[in-house]
Every structure is written in C-alpha cells, then in structure tokens.
Structure 1
Amino acid sequence: MRIGSLADAAGTTPRTVRHYHRLGLLSEPRRLSNGYREYTIDDVVRLMRIRWLAECGMPLGAIAAVLDGKATDEPDVVGDLRALLAGIETEQTALAHKHSRLSALLDDAVERRALTALPRDVAATFGSLLDAADERDRPALIRERDLLEVMAISGRVPAAFFETMSAALGDHDLRRKYLVLLRRFGALEGRSVAESEHDIDALADELVSVLDVESFAQAPESAALGSDSTGLLDIEDIVPDAAQRAVVLRTTTRLLDGAHPAGTSQ
C-alpha cells in the first residue's frame, strides 16, 4: 500500500502522514527495491487510531504515550485529558454567552433598535430622553449613555446597577432631578477641583441619593468604579476633566462604602 492509499484510508493527507513519521508517532515502513514505502494494514490501524485521538483533542505528545502501550492512568495522560476537558467546558461557557448576546443583538436588529451593550431598558430610556431633550442637555446625555456603555462592556458593574438606572430614569421626578444633576456636572468642566470643592461634594451626595446603594452590594470591592482604572482604561481616559472626575470617584466610593461597610465581607 502506497502513502496516498494509506492517507485516503485514514481520511488524511500524505503530508500529515509524513509529519507523523517525523514526530515518531508512525514508524517508517520498509521500502521496496524501487524506493517506495510499502504500508500494511497495521499502519492503517495505527494511523486511524492517531487520527481518532487527535480529533478527540488529545495532544500529539500524549497520543504517543497511549499508543505505545503505557498505562492510560499515567499522570501526564490523565492531566492532559483533564486539562482538555476543562478547556472545552470554558469554551462552551464562552460560546453560550456569545450565543445569548448575539441572539439579543439579532432581536434588536430585527426590531430596528440601536445595537448597544447597554441593557435594553436602559438603552430605550436613553433613546426616549434624547428624543425629548433640549439641545443643551443632549451632549451630556450622549456622554452619559456612552460612559454607561463602556461600563457595561467592561463587565465590572453589576446588572442591578443598570436596573436602578432604568428605574430612576423611568420615574418622571427622578428623571428631572437627574437632568438637573447632569447640567451641574457639565458646568464643572474646566473648573479646578479646589475652587469647586463644595459643588463636587454636594453633587456626589445628590447622585448617591438618586442611585441605589443596594445595587452596588452585588459588586466586589475590587471592581469599584471609583478605583483609578476600569478594565484597560484609566479613569482619566473616561472622564478627562479633573472636577468631573472627582464627582465620579466620590459618588462611586460613597455608593460602595454604603454597600460594603467597613468590617463586612462578601
């Protein structure tokens, strides 16, 4: 049997067969007087076993140990198999998550909604706010929406926070208050932290009163938005203005302090 016939029988290619020869997985067969390799049914069996184990995901180095008659409970083989299974389970979890997100995106696309990482209720609420907003409020609302989307994509914010945002913005009185706070937040731009200390502190307190401390109880303290970085972005990148950044830091710190009082653990 020539190498092409052997490869066809095992559903592979002559190049792969030669690769297995180089790795020592498949022994070189005897050569005929004309120089051609002559394979036998034993080579077919071994090659098909190699292909079967490789398609199961077993590393080629582990395949050699299994096929050469070493015990299959050998620590390296068992470790390889466990690692492969753990990797597949991780991939399955990631794929299920991607499937869920893509399904949601498909629903939004079919319904002609904006494609965004924000929860649907929050995105819809901001859409309504922007449709009804005065021109003076639109830039602040757009920036707020975009910042919330960054937070959603980072995965560092509990879902309950966005539920709270949606509920707050869905309440007429709270929505009006929130818009006023956004205007005050925008008015801080360009001012120094020192000269705005009173306004920064007051604004942080009022934002805490609008948001829900309990929604932050689901976030580990290590994931605090009030820390100096959020994922791969520094807080300076997200909120470049120093006075506005001070508001964000103080607000999130107070929310987290309320959710995780000193001396408590998750």
Structure 2
Amino acid sequence: MAEGLTIGQAAAFVGITVKTVRHYHRLGLVAEPERDRSGYRRYGSADLLRLVQVRALAGAGVPLAEIGELLDAEPERFATALEDVHRRLTEQIEELTTRRDTLHRLAHGDRALLPDRACAVLDRLVELGFSPDYVTTQREALVLSRALAPEVFQPFLDNLEHRLGDPEFVALIKRGWEARSWDPDDPRIEELASAMATNLLTGRALLTLPAKRPHGPDAASRYGVVNHHREDEAPSVARLNGLIEGHLRAAGIDIPRQ
C-alpha cells in the first residue's frame, strides 16, 4: 500500500467502476492523485476514503452536483443537508409506492381509474352471479361516468349500491342482459322495459340528478355516452333502454336528452 493503488484497484476496492471514478474526477468530487515516477496515478487511503464517501452519498440519492459542497461543509450544514435528502427520498418512495399500487390495480382492468367504493360494487356484481361481460360493461360505464360526468358519479354509485340489495332488480337486470340476443322487435322488450321502469320508480329519490350540474347539449351528450355505453353492439338493448327512459320521463324523472 506504500506505493498506492492503481485506478483499477481503487475502483475495485470501493466497489465502483473505473469509469465512475473518472466521472467523479471530471465533476471535481474527488481530486486526481499525482502521478508516480512511472506516470501512473496512485490512490492512497485518503483518496479511497473520499471515493467511499462520494459513493455512499450518491447511493443514498444525493445529486452528484451537491455532493462536493456537502462533503466540504461544516457538520451542522452536513446534517441539515442529509435531512433534506431524507425528505426527498421519502417523497420519492411514496410516489413509487403509489405507482406500484396503480400498476397492481391496472392488472385488474380499469380499477386504477376507480375508487375503492366503485370496485366494491363491481365485486358485488360478481358475487351476485352477473356475467363477466356485464361486469366489464358496468366497470367501463363507471369509468366513463367519473371522467365525463363526475357530478353524477356518486349518485350513480348510490343507486347501484342500494338496488343490488333488491332481488327483483337483480333478476330484471340479468333478464335485460339476456335481451342482448333478442330481436329488437321482440314484444318481450316492451314488457321488460315496463317492469324495469316500475322497479326503478320504487326508489324514485335515487333517480334524481344533482341540482347543480352542467346543462346544455354538451352535458346531455356526456350523460348519453355513459347511459348508452355499448348499445351500438346490441340494438335490442338500445330499444329496451329507450323504452325505460320513456317510462321514467313520463313519470316526471329528469333524464337528459341527447
């Protein structure tokens, strides 16, 4: 050790690469040692100590641009700077944790776009035996509602939570989903629409839209996108929903018209 270490040995001892050591030199974080008689730079214990300190701070998340000033600072300034680094790292950890949780929720469809309460409603649909396709459609409608018509999102959830406790409503909705395969002119559609409207009107208060909400063509279009999601895939369902809305409007329920 009397003659010092080569740059390769110093890098290996500290646990970094030669490229990293040279990068530290370029940034002025570690002074380049003098060359020996053979023209090689030799690293002594003080050089290795500095390299270890720089590596430790860099590994802890301290920006390289701040390390030089930090190492040369008084103990009080050093302690304050470390507290700041700790705060920033904590914020980064929280952000990464949020991202990880989001990825986990994304693995379950659009759940990253919905609050836990809405996800609980979707889980309830599964428990009640609704088909995966129906649950997917409802999840999409919830996502659209939250994004396009947020003022009706909570009432939408309130309505679903309440009505899923009604066996008659559950049976009617399942019947309505079966109607996807019916002919649009099937007379059963009118009967089903009447029955569904009657059931919905038993919870009339749940059908009332918020007083403070946007009005006009744009608002109506937003509601329409949500209320008629995927109807284009099933003409019979489009007719069923249209008839239900007609019954509800006739009963005095305010349903925006597109």
Q: Report the TM-score, using the length of structure 2 for normalisation.
A: 0.53
Paired positions, count: 202
2:123 is matched with: 121
2:37 is matched with: 33
Q: Is the 8 A contact 1:3 1:37 kept in 2?
A: yes
1:112 is matched with: none
Q: How does 1:100-249 map to 2 (within 5 A)?
A: 117=111, 118-119=119-120, 121-122=123-124, 124-125=126-127, 128-130=129-131, 142=133, 144-150=134-140, 156=146, 165=160, 168-169=163-164, 171-179=166-174, 206=200, 209=203, 235=225, 239=229
Distance 1:172 1:184 in 2: 18
Gaps of 5+ in 2: 112-118, 185-192, 214-218, 233-237, 246-253
- Cα 1:58–1:184, aligned 2, differ >3 Å: closer, same or farther? same
Shift of 1:32: 2.0
Gaps of 5+ in 1: 106-114, 131-140, 190-198, 248-253, 256-266
Shift of 1:87: 1.6
What code does the residue aligned with 2:59 have? E
1:83 is matched with: 88
Shift of 1:33: 3.0
Distance 1:227 1:65 in 2: 60
What code does the residue aligned with 1:171 have? D
1:55 is matched with: 59
Distance 1:81 1:155 in 2: 40
1:13 to 2:17 alignment: yes
Distance 2:220 2:7 in 1: 63
Identity over aligned residues, as a percent? 25
1:44 is matched with: 48
Shift of 1:168: 3.2
Distance 1:51 1:208 in 2: 70
Shift of 1:98: 6.0
Q: Is the 8 A contact 2:35 2:42 kept in 1?
A: yes
Distance 1:64 1:146 in 2: 55
What code does the residue aligned with 1:32 have? D
CA RMSD of aligned residues (A): 5.4
1:196 is matched with: none
What code does the residue aligned with 1:5 have? Q
What code does the residue aligned with 1:23 have? L
Q: Report the TM-score, using the length of structure 1 for normalisation.
A: 0.52
